[in-house]
Structure formats: C-alpha cells, structure tokens
C-alpha cells in the first residue's frame, strides 16, 4: 500500500484518481472506483440540470460509502450554464471534494471551503498550478501533453511538467496524462507527485457506461492514434483518431478556417450519442489520450487497481533495488 499526502488528505486507499469525464463520469463508474480504493469524480455537467446532479450524487452514495467527488468544469459556453447552482448542489449534498477545471479557481475556492468541500484545481501549466495554490486549493492536478481533452498550448509532457510543478508547490500534486499502469504510479511518485489521475484507462473498464466498441477501440489503438484539434484557435484538444477528427483537422488546416466550419462535426453531444452511446466509432469526436498505447484489456475497476498497486509494489520492492547492486 502506498501512503502519500494525497491519500491522507482525501481518505482513500490508493494514490489514484478517476478524473471527471464528460458523458462518462456517472455513479456506476465512480462508485466502482471508490469501492476499489481510489478517488473518482462524477461529472457535474454530464447532468443536464443541477437537480439531476443531486440525484446522481445520491445514486453514487447508494452504491458506495467511500469518498468520491464531483468535477465542475467552468468554461464560457454558447448556452449559459448555471455554475452557481451546480456548486450549491455539491455543497448541499455534502460532497467532500470538488475538482475545478477550465478557469480561475479564485472566486470558487472560498465558496466551497465555507461549505466544507476540499478543492482540487486542475490545470495545464506550472504558473496556473501556483496560482491555484495561492487561491487556496487543497491540491493541484496538472495535465501533461499526453492527456486526453485539453492539454494546454505549451506541449510540456508529464515527465517535465510534474517535477517542475512539484518543485514550486507545497500542496499535493496529482499527475495527469499518460498514466495507465503500476509503473506510471511509481514514476509519478518518484517525480514528486502524490497521485496519478487517469481518464482513458478508466474508459476501458467494465463499469464505464460506454459502448463496448469504444473500449475495444482503445485496446486496439496505439499511442499514435490521437489527433490534436483546434490548435489554430488556441483551444487545443486531444481526441481519438477517426474519420471525423481527421476531417476536422483537414478543414482547420485551411488558411482562414473558422470554428463554425467544423462545429457540427466537433459537437460533444454528437460524440457522446453516436460514439459513446451507439458505438459508431467514426461518427463523432471522442476524447482519448496517448495512454491508449499502454492499454490492452478491459478489466473491472477493482481488477485494474489491484493490478496497478501490485505492479507498483513489485517495482519498488524487487525490480528497482535489483538495479542498484554494488560494483565488485
């Protein structure tokens, strides 16, 4: 067992996080993660209304008595979102931890702390991690360039970003991007992290409520099967390689291309319905990280976490010491 500042602060057994995934962060998966000893996050905005989030929190509580959290991603949207109402639901439900992403945590941290909720600030750069700590975040999750979703605009991988952040911060640092196995856990801890966060790896588990075709595609894919979209609009997103993502990339490469030209293809609602729901793998955009290259099965969450911790323990106790023999 690995005891870190993260496990002690959030009261979980393993230094592993299932990040809040839009369309995927639902009660069944999050409760399974919690029951296996890690910290999982419901995705607030997967629920169409704040009152639906309240119901999903209670569903999760019915499935586990262990700690879990809620991700609240705060971004400008074409259709206004009542972020304040979602925050009120999280506080009133007594959720112990919230994962904030997408914007300045400063206005939100006091509100959650006043409600007894710990705050993890998720970001993509050292300077934003420092600002998150200064704003009062209890921990920081930092996304390396390998991650699914939005890796930022600076292209710094976890191998550099994680230790650079750990040197500047005093709060626990959660390493995100490129992690899928026990070796990744050991590497993250050695580089100054206090836990690892995984999304793509948890997408390929039995409890993830997505079509079986999605899970098999992750198993079949390699580390090269992602595409970076929207770079020209400084909103870079790493998604799985398929016909739609490659078409968006082609259109976006044209001089003077606008987002409106690809909006119908890039629709998150389309990806969640057609790909995650129906298993039509070339009919929408869906998130996936380069960690696909490390994934070759679809276990239960408990099988995955037990295996990862066993692998990590084996590395620390046997494999690594064997490399440090004294010279004769």
Residue 324 confidence (pLDDT): 84
> Residues spanned by CATH 3.20.20.70 within the chain?
5-209+295-315
Q: Which residue has the higher pLDDT, 324 or 67?
A: 67
Is the pLDDT assigned to residue 75 strictly greater than 90? no
In the predicted model, what is the mean pLDDT of the chain? Answer: 96
Residue 311 in contact with residue 181, Cβ under 8 Å?
A: yes
Whether the pTM exceeds 0.85: the reply is yes
Query: How buried is 90 (Cβ within 10 angstroms: 0-12 exposed, 13-18 middle, 19+ buried)?
Result: buried
Write down the CATH superfamily of domain 5-209+295-315: Aldolase class I (3.20.20.70)
Q: Which residue has the tokens 């890796």?
A: 151
Residue 294 in contact with residue 180, Cβ under 8 Å?
A: yes
Give the model's confidence band at 79: pLDDT under 50 very low, under 70 low, under 90 confident, else very high.
Answer: confident
Is the pLDDT assigned to residue 46 strictly greater than 90? yes
Is the pLDDT assigned to residue 328 strictly greater than 70? no
- Exposed e or buried b per residue across 285-322, where buried means at least 16 C-beta atoms within 10 angstroms of its C-beta: bbbbbbbbbbbeebeebbebbeebbebbeebbeeeeee
Q: What is the pLDDT of residues 167-224, one digit of tens each?
A: 999 999 999 999 999 999 999 999 999 999 999 999 999 999 999 999 999 999 999 9
The token duo for 106 is 């400063």
Count, residues in the chain: 328
Residue 327 confidence (pLDDT): 55
Q: Kindly report the backbone phi and psi dihedral angles of residue 4, in degrees, each rounded to the nearest multiple of 5, phi listed first.
A: -130, 170
Residue 70 confidence (pLDDT): 98
Give the model's confidence band at 284: pLDDT under 50 very low, under 70 low, under 90 confident, else very high.
Answer: very high
Residue 192 confidence (pLDDT): 98
CA–CA dist 140, 129 (Å, integer): 6
- Candidates 296, 274, 269; CA nearest to 204 is 296
Cα of 180 vs its chain's centroid, Å: 12
**Helix segments in the chain, DSSP class H:** 5-10, 27-35, 50-63, 83-92, 109-114, 126-134, 158-168, 182-190, 200-203, 212-220, 243-252, 263-266, 268-270, 301-314
Residue 306 confidence (pLDDT): 98
Q: What is the pLDDT of residues 102-148, one digit of tens each?
A: 989 999 999 999 999 999 999 999 999 999 999 999 999 999 999 99
**What is the average per-residue pLDDT within 136-164?**
96
Residue 76 confidence (pLDDT): 72
Residue 326 confidence (pLDDT): 63
Residue 27 confidence (pLDDT): 98
Is the pLDDT assigned to residue 229 strictly greater than 70? yes
The DSSP line for 297-319 is ----HHHHHHHHHHHHHHIIIII
CA–CA dist 199, 222 (Å, integer): 16
Residue 190 confidence (pLDDT): 97
């Amino acid at each position: 067992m690995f005891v870190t500042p993260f496990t002690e602060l959030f009261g979980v057994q393993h230094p592993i996080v299932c990040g809040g995934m839009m369309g995927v962060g639902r009660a069944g998966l999050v409760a399974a993660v919690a029951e296996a000893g890690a910290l999982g996050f419901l995705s607030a905005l997967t629920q169409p209304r704040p009152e639906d989030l309240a119901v999903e929190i209670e569903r999760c509580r019915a499935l586990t008595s262990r700690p879990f959290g809620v991700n609240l991603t705060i971004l400008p949207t074409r259709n206004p979102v009542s972020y304040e109402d979602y925050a009120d639901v999280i506080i009133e439900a007594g959720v112990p931890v919230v994962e904030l992403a997408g914007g300045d945590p400063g206005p939100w941290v006091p509100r959650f702390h006043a409600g007894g909720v710990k705050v993890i600030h998720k970001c993509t750069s050292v300077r934003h991690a420092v600002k998150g700590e200064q704003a009062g975040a209890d921990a920081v999750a930092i996304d390396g360039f390998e991650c699914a979703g939005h890796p930022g605009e600076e292209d710094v991988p976890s191998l550099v970003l994680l230790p650079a952040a750990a040197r500047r911060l005093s709060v626990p640092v959660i390493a995100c991007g490129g992690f899928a196995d026990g070796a990744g856990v050991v590497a993250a801890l050695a580089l100054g992290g206090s836990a690892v966060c995984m999304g793509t790896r948890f997408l390929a588990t039995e409890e993830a409520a997505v079509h079986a075709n999605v899970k098999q595609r992750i198993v079949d894919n390699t580390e090269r099967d992602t595409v970076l979209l929207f770079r020209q609009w400084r909103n870079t997103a790493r998604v799985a390689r398929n016909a739609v993502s490659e078409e968006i990339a082609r259109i976006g490469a044209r001089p003077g291309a606008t987002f409106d030209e690809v909006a119908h293809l890039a629709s998150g609602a389309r990806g969640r319905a057609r790909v995650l729901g129906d298993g039509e793998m070339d009919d929408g955009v869906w998130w996936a990280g380069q960690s696909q290259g490390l994934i070759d099965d679809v276990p239960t969450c408990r099988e995955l976490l037990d295996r990862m911790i066993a692998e990590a323990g084996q590395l620390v106790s046997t494999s690594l010491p064997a490399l440090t023999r004294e010279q004769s």
